[in-house]
Amino acid sequence: MKGYNFINLFKGLGLFLLQLAVVYFIVESGLSAGAKFPLVILALGAVVFVSFKLDCWKEMAVFGMFYTIIAGFLMPVPRLPIVNETIRNQYFHVAMWMAMVIVLFASALHAVKYLRKGDLRDDILSSEFANLGLVFGVLGIITGMVWANYTWGKPWHGDPKQVSAAIGLLVYFALMVLRSSFNDDVKRARIGAVYNLFAFPLMIVLLFTVPRMYDSLHPGAGGNPAFGKADLDNTMRMVFYTAIIAWTLLGVWIATLRIRTRLLELKVYDVL
Amino acid sequence: MAFAAQAQNQGIEMADTMRSNGKIYVVVAVLSIVLAGILIYVINTDKKIKRLEEEVENK
């Protein structure tokens, strides 16, 4: 292929294998469960950061996504009643929600940057990441409903987490509507950014705080945080954390394509 | 909660049949093909945008 540097493939593969090694060593270490989760996040965040610097994050995303599918179906999972094999949906439904949270955080971050510097590029990044967050969120709700249909009996139960997630998505849909109501770029960016900064903490509270307070069919309710011993074993952790990174990076890649197109439009129309 | 038993609990239904007759690989193959298709589209779009960016840069 013209102009493609194949070294990037090896860099991407190397960093992807590094992800697996990092997760393996942290998960198999003797640390408490409470220490493992933040440590894995920090370590994988560092690997992703390096992949951006080495410009091989797209390759790493490709390896990660194929791994999610292949290992997701072929590696063993705990034999649990009710969920049976569908526990593998963890690598899709749950991983996409986590990816959504990461992406919406990036959106809020760029909203802050825009308010501080007034650079419209930050507004483009913020709005495209919010769009991506919505896509992940809608896919997450739909996959969750399919999962619920086969394990809980029907697709919608008014379960606290389902309802909170739906409210969170409506809040971000409202952001889209709000933005589209402006003709002036600067006003749209400024008001959209302020709303974004309300929307993100609200989404966090809705997804992580509110459901914990109620009894629910979702794991992680009634006061017990999820991802404990009953929900996820070490073999699943080997796929789950990498899957989150893979979904996030694939989504970010597609978002950057949209962002670059919008930046091109700005350049071309400003010149004309 | 005795559910998360470590020993192989053959009483819980899992997709053992599909694994033993190799049909699980059909699932993996189909999803991999779909993923490959999506990735090819994304890669081609990426190349197209890169070409446009270079054109705009060189003007």
Contacts of A268 in chain B (CB under 8 A): 56
The model's pLDDT over A247-263, given as tens digits with 9 standing for 90+, comes to 999 999 999 999 999 99
- Name the residue type at position B56: V
**Average pLDDT, integer, range A54-69:** 96
Residues within 8 A of B (CB atoms), A 56-75 only: 58, 62, 65-66, 69-70, 73-74
Q: Provide the shortest C-alpha distance from residue B3 to chain A (in Å).
A: 6
**ipTM for this model:** 0.85
> Whole-number mean pLDDT of chain A?
90
Contacts of B8 in chain A (CB under 8 A): 79
Mutation site for B-interface testing, chosen from A2, A59, A85 by largest number of B Cβ within 10 Å: A85
Q: Do residues A237 and A29 make contact, with C-beta atoms less than 8 angstroms apart?
A: no
Contacts of B14 in chain A (CB under 8 A): 79, 84-85
The model's pLDDT over B9-28, given as tens digits with 9 standing for 90+, comes to 567 777 777 677 788 899 99
Contacts of A64 (CB under 8 A, 6+ apart): A16, A19, A242, A243, A245, A246, A249, A250
How confident is the model at residue A230, as a pLDDT?
Answer: 46
CA distance A76 to A243: 16
CA distance A266 to A251: 23
What CATH class has A89-232? Answer: mainly alpha
Nearest CA in chain B to A65: B35
- A268:B42 CB<8 A: no
Q: Is A46 helix (H, G, I), strand (E, B) or coil?
A: helix
Say whether residue B55 is in contact with chain A using an 8 A CB cutoff: no
The model's pLDDT over A111-143, given as tens digits with 9 standing for 90+, comes to 999 999 999 999 999 999 999 999 999 999 999
Q: Is A185 helix (H, G, I), strand (E, B) or coil?
A: helix
CA distance B35 to A123: 30
End-to-end CA distance of chain A: 33
Q: Which of A5, A13, A16 is closest to A246 using CA atoms?
A: A16
Q: Is the pLDDT of residue B4 over 50?
A: no
Say whether residue A173 is in contact with chain B using an 8 A CB cutoff: no
How confident is the model at residue A254, as a pLDDT?
Answer: 97
Contacts of A84 in chain B (CB under 8 A): 12-15
Q: Which residue has the tokens 């978002």?
A: A255
Q: Do residues A80 and A87 make contact, with C-beta atoms less than 8 angstroms apart?
A: yes
Number of alpha carbons in the 13 Å side-chain half-sphere of residue A206: 20
Q: From the CB of residue A103, how many other CB atoms can be counted at a distance below 10 Å?
A: 25
CA distance A186 to A115: 10
Contacts of A80 (CB under 8 A, 6+ apart): A87, B3, B4, B12
Say whether residue B13 is in contact with chain A using an 8 A CB cutoff: yes
Q: Do residues A220 and A229 make contact, with C-beta atoms less than 8 angstroms apart?
A: no
Percentage, residues of chain A above pLDDT 70: 94
H helix runs in B1-59, sequence order = 16-20, 24-58
Q: Is the pLDDT of residue A229 over 50?
A: no
Say whether residue A229 is in contact with chain B using an 8 A CB cutoff: yes
Residues within 8 A of A (CB atoms), B 25-54 only: 27-28, 31-32, 35, 39, 42, 45-46, 49, 52-53
Rounded to a whole number, what is the largest CA-CA distance in chain A? 64
- B14:A267 CB<8 A: no
**Burial (CB count within 10 angstroms: exposed 0-12, middle 13-18, buried 19+), residue A190:** middle
Percentage, residues of chain A above pLDDT 90: 69
* CA-to-CA dists, residue A158 to A17, A125, A215, A216, angstroms: 41, 34, 12, 9
